[in-house]
């Protein structure tokens, strides 16, 4: 489709203006067909950017290797350019929007020379759903087009819903590597140097401008940029929730169904939980979404959630048949792999895949690599943030409702973190405001991999939204409180905190995790149904010792340990929140949260 055929005059002019600025050799409007996807993959193979994988082992799969400077989200180059700096808040990087647009317009000028400009109309959420939103991404990367085909709903059907005057979020993207006459990428991943990368969000005008990176959340602008940073602003203004949450469907042995969402900082097993295989007889868990939930109120006063994405963009290292068999099944075909290792028979391998490297590999840098298990200094064959992009519809446990335009009614919110002590296995909030307090203090123990904090320090990541909230986090807490105040609390989801990561004195995990987490989900399900046994404590409702069926290897004493209230530990937690966490938000921190802090402290001292 060409630009002249666009029926939306505003969109047509925006595309024409972008083409005049970026000067591509040609412009294509994406139609979302399989033929288009296949053509994008062929372009990347023909230019040496992609390697086709073994069709017997991984049909329809390809492997990309990115530039070493372009392997992850670049948080220090990610900006919330609100008109006033105070509206971006202390957890975001801010640049004056006028100044930033001037800088970036200079970078965009001529940035697509020698390339094709692709116009990607995409829907976040089922096309036509009342909860969905439409975006249009302009890009010069066929890699981005192919990934967006998997991660969103793309093409002509989106333009039909948009019509001649529909609302869309405009998204600029360029890899920032114009080509001179006769110049080709010649197999080299195109991107700009780190100091020229910008991932910019303009909350008031609802625009996303990305430059210089071709990778992941920096370039697939439907993902974190629209689905969280811009959508969180839309949600605040329109009275709904855009959250960094998985969505699960749980069915008990009697055939009763409940849907729950969960927010977890990175490295806390979120994707594994989203595709969990229960060990508890008679219970089933199905996936609605693994990363993002958009929730709006239905006519019955309940919150209904959609997964705005159409695919999984998962971290490969550590994914294996034990940790996440359903993810492994999902990515056996029609999947884009990025920065994993290539085997001699054109399959893929990564650290933590569950077996040793099969002979000589080509690592993510394109070099020969032979596993040396005795060498602790050996660099990994797959980048620690290497990824797979796989269609959600291929997941063996995708729920039949996953594309229901109405969404699914949510019974519970889970928050969690990686905490070796103090925080119990599961804890239910006493009220909505107590739950918001729990979400606001989410923290996870820092591992040795984080360079900026000492291992063992607790890094606070409120609601697991720290890098993704598009405005001041104090105002975000206020929005959550307002949701509770303006709706019938009896119809709102109940709020729980979970912690699968408690350790004993020897430093070993007490709870086995993975499929055994179904035992905790069963108690949460029962609490939502009004049947689960619990005790009222200073920190919330905890299960009675016999309320959760114990898995093998967990003793009665273990259960008592991970379900008790650690008074001294909680007092230290409250002191840390009061001294080091809440003051960051200044006078924007809602007084209701300080009141909640005081109330818990009082109960602990009683």
Looking at the structure, tell me whether residues 291 and 163 fall in a common domain: no
Q: Final residue of a domain: which of 197, 223, 238? A: 238
pLDDT, residue 445, reads 87
Among 200, 219, 238, give the residue marking a domain's end: 238
Number of domains forming the structure of the chain: 3
Instruction: Tell whether 485 is covered by a domain.
Output: yes
Q: Which of 37, 572, 442, 519 is nearest to 276 (CA)?
A: 519
131-153 per-position pLDDT tens digit = 999 999 999 999 999 999 999 99
Say if 50 falls within a structural domain.
no
Residue 1's pLDDT is: 85
Domain assignment present for 92: yes
Q: Look at residue 49 and tell me if it is in a domain.
A: no
244-281: pLDDT as tens digits: 999 999 999 999 999 999 999 987 889 999 999 999 99
Model confidence pLDDT, tens digit, residues 71-110: 998 999 999 999 999 999 999 999 999 999 999 999 999 9
- Supply the CATH number for residue 575's domain: 3.90.228.20
Res 545: pLDDT = 86
Q: Compute the mean pLDDT over every residue in the chain, rounded to the nearest whole number.
A: 96
Q: How far is 302 from 578, CA to CA, in rounded Å? A: 33
The answer to whether residues 333 and 293 belong to one domain is no
Q: How far apart are CA 511 and CA 212, in angstroms?
A: 44
Query: What predicted TM-score, i.e. pTM, was given to this entire model?
Result: 0.97
Q: Is the predicted pLDDT of residue 483 greater than 70, yes or no?
A: yes
Domain boundary among 221, 238, 255: 238
Listed in sequence order, the residues at least 6 apart from 214 whose beta carbon sits closer than 8 Å to its beta carbon are 66, 70, 141, 143, 144, 175, 189, 190, 191
Domain-located, residue 322: yes
Question: Quick one: average pLDDT of 465-489?
Answer: 97
Residues with catalytic roles? 268
Question: Is the same domain home to 267 and 316?
Answer: no
CB-CB neighbours of 360 under 10 Å: 11
Looking only at the bridges linking them, the beta strands covering 246-251 and 257-263 are antiparallel
Determine, yes or no, domain membership for 333: yes
Cβ pair 198, 107 in contact under 8 A: yes
Which three-class secondary structure state does DSSP give residue 113? coil
Q: Does the residue 461 lie in any domain?
A: yes
Q: What is the pLDDT of residues 20-65, one digit of tens each?
A: 999 999 999 999 999 999 999 999 999 999 999 999 999 999 999 9
Least confident span in 123-132, 166-175, 187-196, 442-451 = 442-451
State whether 319 and 276 are in the same domain.
no
Mean pLDDT along residues 538-551: 95
CATH number of the domain bearing residue 192: 3.40.449.10
User: 23: which 2 tokens?
Assistant: 């000067």
Average pLDDT over residues 399-418: 97
Regarding whether 281 and 208 lie in a shared domain, the answer is no
Q: Are residues 424 and 412 in the same domain?
A: yes
Let me know whether 483 and 551 are in one domain. yes
Is 449 a residue whose pLDDT tops 50?
A: no
pLDDT in tens, 276-333: 999 999 999 999 999 999 999 999 999 999 999 999 999 999 999 999 999 999 999 9
Mean of the pLDDT values across residues 511-520? Answer: 96
Residue 101 CB: number of other CB atoms within 10 A? 18
> Residue 336 belongs to a domain with what CATH number?
2.170.8.10
Q: Do 337 and 388 fall within a single domain?
A: yes
Per-residue pLDDT reduced to its tens digit, 66-82? 999 999 989 999 999 99
321: nearest Cα among 356, 355, 286, 282: 355
Residues 383 and 281 in one domain: no
Residues 6+ apart with CB under 8 A from 141: 118, 173, 175, 190, 214, 219
Asked if 556 and 592 sit in the same domain, the reply is yes
Residues 228 and 261 in one domain: no
Q: Is 594 exposed, middle or buried (0-12, 13-18, 19+ CB in 10 A)?
A: middle
Whether the CB-CB separation of 502 and 425 falls below 8 Å is answered with yes
Condensed to tens digits (0 to 9), the pLDDT of residues 488-502 reads: 999 999 999 999 999
Instruction: Name the pairing type of β-strands 116-124 and 133-139.
Output: antiparallel
Regarding whether 215 and 288 lie in a shared domain, the answer is no
Q: pLDDT class for 451, splitting at 50, 70, 90?
A: very low
68: in domain: no
Is pLDDT of 556 > 70? yes
Cα 480 to Cα 478: distance, rounded to the nearest angstrom: 5
- What mean pLDDT do residues 360-368 have? 98
Tell me the residue range of the domain where 103 lies: 3-30+74-238
């Amino acid at each position: 489709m060409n630009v002249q055929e666009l029926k939306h005059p505003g969109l047509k002019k925006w595309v024409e203006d972008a083409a005049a600025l970026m000067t591509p050799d040609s412009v294509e409007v994406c139609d979302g067909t399989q033929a288009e996807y296949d053509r994008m993959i062929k372009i990347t193979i023909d230019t040496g950017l992609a390697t086709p994988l073994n069709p017997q082992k991984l049909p329809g799969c390809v492997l990309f290797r990115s530039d070493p400077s372009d392997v992850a989200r670049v948080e220090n180059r990610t900006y919330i350019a609100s008109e006033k700096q105070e509206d971006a808040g202390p957890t975001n990087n801010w640049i004056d929007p006028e100044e930033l647009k001037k800088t970036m317009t200079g970078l965009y000028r001529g940035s697509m020379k020698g390339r094709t400009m692709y116009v990607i109309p995409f829907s976040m959420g089922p096309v036509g759903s009342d909860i969905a939103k439409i975006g249009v991404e302009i890009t010069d990367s066929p890699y981005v087009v192919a990934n967006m085909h998997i991660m969103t709903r793309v093409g002509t059907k989106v333009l039909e819903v948009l019509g001649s005057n529909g609302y869309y979020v405009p998204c600029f993207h360029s890899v920032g590597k114009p080509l001179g006459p006769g110049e080709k990428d010649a197999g080299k991943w195109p991107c700009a140097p780190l100091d020229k990368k910008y991932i910019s969000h303009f909350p008031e005008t609802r625009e996303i401008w990305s430059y210089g990176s071709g990778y992941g959340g920096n370039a697939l602008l439907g993902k974190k940029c629209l689905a969280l940073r811009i959508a969180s602003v839309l949600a605040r203004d329109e009275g709904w929730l855009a959250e960094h949450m998985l969505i699960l469907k749980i069915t008990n042995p009697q055939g009763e169904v409940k849907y729950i969402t969960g927010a977890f900082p990175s490295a806390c097993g979120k994707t594994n939980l989203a595709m969990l295989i229960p060990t508890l007889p008679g219970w089933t868990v199905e996936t609605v979404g693994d990363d993002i939930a958009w929730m709006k109120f239905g006519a019955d006063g309940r919150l209904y959630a959609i997964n705005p994405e159409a695919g999984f963009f998962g971290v490969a290292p550590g994914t294996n048949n034990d940790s996440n068999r359903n993810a492994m099944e999902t990515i056996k075909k029609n999947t884009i792999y990025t920065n994993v290792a290539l085997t001699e028979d054109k399959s893929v391998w990564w650290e933590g895949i569950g077996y040793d490297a099969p002979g000589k590999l080509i690592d993510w840098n394109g070099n020969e690599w032979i596993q040396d298990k005795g060498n602790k200094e050996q660099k990994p064959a797959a980048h620690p943030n290497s990824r797979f992009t796989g269609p959600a519809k291929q997941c063996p446990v995708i729920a039949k409702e996953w594309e229901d335009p109405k969404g699914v009614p949510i019974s519970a919110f889970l928050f969690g973190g990686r905490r070796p002590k103090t925080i119990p296995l599961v804890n239910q909030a006493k009220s909505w405001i107590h739950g918001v307090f729990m979400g606001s203090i989410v923290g996870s123990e820092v591992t040795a991999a984080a360079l900026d904090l000492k291992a063992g320090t607790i890094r606070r990541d409120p609601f697991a939204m720290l890098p993704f909230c598009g405005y001041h986090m104090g105002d975000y807490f206020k929005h959550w409180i307002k949701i509770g105040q303006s709706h019938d609390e009896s119809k709102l989801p109940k709020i729980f905190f979970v912690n699968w990561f408690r350790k004993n004195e020897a430093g070993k995990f007490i709870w086995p995790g993975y499929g055994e987490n179904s035992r905790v989900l069963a108690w949460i399900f029962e609490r939502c149904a009004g049947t689960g046994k619990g005790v009222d404590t200073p920190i919330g409702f905890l299960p009675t010792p016999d309320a959760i069926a114990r898995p093998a290897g967990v003793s009665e004493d273990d259960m008592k340990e991970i379900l008790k209230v650690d008074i001294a530990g909680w007092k230290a937690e409250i002191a840390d929140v009061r001294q080091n966490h809440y003051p960051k938000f200044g006078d924007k921190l809602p007084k209701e949260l300080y009141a909640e802090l005081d109330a818990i402290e009082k109960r602990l001292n009683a």
